Amino acid sequence: MLEELAAAGVDFERFRRCNRTITASGSPSGTGVAWFKDTGGNVLSVSQT
């Protein structure tokens, strides 16, 4: 699913936490997570296990 969103042009957010950047490729727990903003500026997330 994350690959499909990226292919559709979704820009993912990146966050700094614990001296590492958390991106769509994975979270500290190893779950695939992506954060992005909707047209209203709200941050949404999807996860892929």
Please report the sign of the dihedral spanned by the C-alpha atoms of residue 24, residue 26, residue 4, residue 37: negative
pLDDT of residue 26: 54
Q: Residue 17 has which token pair?
A: 């936490």
Given a contact cutoff of 8 angstroms between Cβ atoms, the answer to whether 32 and 48 are in contact is yes
Domain boundaries, the chain: 2-48
pLDDT tens figures, 4-40: 888 898 888 877 665 555 555 555 666 677 888 889 9
Q: Residue 24 has which token pair?
A: 């769509």
Q: Tell me how far apart the alpha carbons of residues 6 and 24 are, in angstroms, rounded to a whole number.
A: 9
**Global pTM value:** 0.56
E strand map for the chain = 15-17, 20-22, 32-37, 43-48
